[in-house]
Copies of this chain bind each other. A is one copy, B any other.
Amino acid sequence: MELRRADIIADALEELVFTGGFHDGDRLDELRLARQFDVSRTPIREALQRLVASGIAEQIPRRGVFVRQPGPVELMEMFETMAEIEGVCGRLAALRISEAALEELDRANASCCAAVEGGDADAYYRENERFHHVIYHQAGNGFLEHEALRLHRRLKPFRRLQLRLRGRMSQSMAEHKAIVEALRAGDPDRAAEALRGHVAIQGEKFHLLMSSLRSAAE
């Protein structure tokens, strides 16, 4: 399916950046990568352009492309945006969700519960992801779903960290239950609020701190 080396290389590079193979500000040297992947510079250049387009790297004309990891501020902004988009998905999903999807949410939640009790972090993570993806889909808006998935994917490497920050898995489970309840009741505002709060409460505090620091500096 993927016949172009450029795409394979782009995926490999993306993975490398996410798993810490490169650090913020590192220059992605075309020649070095070309030798490393045993291809010419051409497919490397195309792969780099893909990284730039997805925001993982930054290009400075005539200077090269550099890895661009989000700093604390941008990370909080991204999480806040994710929370808001999830809220939107919840709002729309409350009006459009199917009975089958509600049951799948229940199943995902049950699996989550089991994972929490069994201490299986990987399973928890996987089922949690399924839960959210179902909601994106049930918003009934393919474009919005695509955007939500894109941001979700972009935040993937940081989500585990975020889960550790908020710590209490069981509270997260209770929030999941409240979300499903609101969706089942078909209450858009409550669903949006529940989903937003599910991710964003401490992000909000962090952001207020950050923006107050920034405005104080001006």
Contacts and interface: CB of A to CB of B under 8 A. Distances in A.
Interface stretch (A13-21, A48-56, A108-116, A172-180): A48-56
A171 interface: no
A15 to B, nearest CB: 18
A197 interface: no
Contact of A147 (B50, B81, B88, B211): B81
19 contacts: A3-B61, A3-B62, A45-B46, A46-B49, A49-B49, A49-B53, A50-B53, A53-B53, A53-B54, A77-B144, A80-B92, A80-B144, A85-B85, A87-B88, A96-B211, A140-B207, A140-B211, A141-B207, A147-B147
Q: What does DSSP make chain A's interface, helix, strand, loop or mixed?
A: helix
Contacts of A2: 61
A157 to B, nearest CB: 16
B77 A84 contact: no
Contacts of A85: 85, 88
A160 to B, nearest CB: 20
Interface string A40-82: 0000011001100110000001100000000001100110110
Given A73-B142, A81-B141, A96-B211, 9 more contacts: A53-B54, A74-B143, A77-B144, A78-B143, A80-B92, A80-B141, A81-B143, A140-B211, A147-B147
A164 interface: no
A1 interface: yes
A84 B95 CA distance: 14
A81 B50 contact: no
B77 A141 contact: yes
Residue among A81, A87, A144 with the highest chain B CB neighbour number at 10 A: A81
Nearest to A70: B143
A202 to B, nearest CB: 16
Nearest to A141: B77
A205 interface: no
